[in-house]
Amino acid sequence: MSEATNAAVGVRVDGHVLIVSIQRPQVRNAVNMAVAQGIAAAMEELDANPALHIGVLTGSGGTFCAGMDLKAFAYEGVEPAIEGRGFAGLCEAPPRKPLIAAVEGHAVAGGFEIVLACDMVVAARGASFGLPEAKRGIVASSGGLMRLPQRLSANLAMEMALLGDPISAEQAHAWGLVNRLVEPGQALAAALVLARAIDANAPLAVAASKQIVQGSRNWSDAEMFERQRPIARAVNGSADAREGAAAFAQKRVARWRGC
C-alpha cells in the first residue's frame, strides 16, 4: 500500500483501488483550489495507471463535503475549478474507471454535486444530501441539476432542486440515490468491500460497461446498438474474454491481464 498527500487531499492505494480523501475537516472538507488540484491529479492517476481499476472518494473527520469554500473564494477570488475537469477537479470530467462515493455527514451544495459525479454511493445513516443553492439565490452549476434527474424521478429531482432542503441518507437510499446504507463510521469500509467485489471482475469489461451505461443515456433507439458495438467488440475479442471463458469451463478463478 502506498500513500501520498498534498495536505488538502490524501491518496492511498489498496490493491487495485485508489482511495482519495478530502482532508479539510476543520471546514467540513469545503473545496478550495488545493482540493480541486488534488482530486484532479488523483483522477488522472486513476485513469492513467493500468494497475488501478476503481476509485473511492471520501471525506475526513466524519463528513463528506460542504461544497465550495466560500471564505477562500471571497479572500482569494479563485473558483476551485480545474480547466477541463470543472469544480473540484471532477464534476465536468469524471474518470473513465468506476468511482464510488463513501459518504459520512454532510454532502451538500458542491459536495452533493461531487457525489453525483460518482458512479455509486455508499452512505452512513445520519448523512445528508442536498442542493441548497436556491435558498442562497444561486444555481447549482457543477452538474447537480443535470445529473440529479438521471438518478431520481423528474418530480423528486425538481423538488430537491427548487426546495433546497436536504434529505437524509435513509431517504436517499429509499429513492435509489444511495446504493448501500451502513452504520455511522462504516461508509469507507463498506465502499471498499463494494470496490473489491467489482475489482474481482475483468477491468476491461468493467470500464466498458460503465462507458455504455453512461453513454447510452444519449443514444436513440435507432443508433444504440451501433454505438455499443465497437465498445463491446473490443472487449469481447480480448485475451481477458478468452480467459473468462476458460476459467468458467475449468472452474477456477480468472486471472485478468487487462488486455
User: Of 3, 133, 159, 226, which residue is the catalytic one?
Assistant: 133
Pairing of strands 17-22, 106-108: unpaired
C-alpha–C-alpha distance, residues 192 and 125, integer Å: 17
User: Of 3, 83, 104, 113, which residue is the catalytic one?
Assistant: 113
Place of cell 468458467: 248
Provide the 8-state DSSP code for 135.
Answer: G
C-alpha–C-alpha distance, residues 18 and 198, integer Å: 13
Q: Is 104 known to be catalytic?
A: no
Provide the 8-state DSSP code for 16.
Answer: T
Q: Is 92 known to be catalytic?
A: no
C-alpha–C-alpha distance, residues 192 and 56, integer Å: 7
Number of C-beta neighbours around residue 184 at 10 A: 13
The single-letter code of the amino acid at 259 is C
Q: Which residues are catalytic?
A: 113, 133
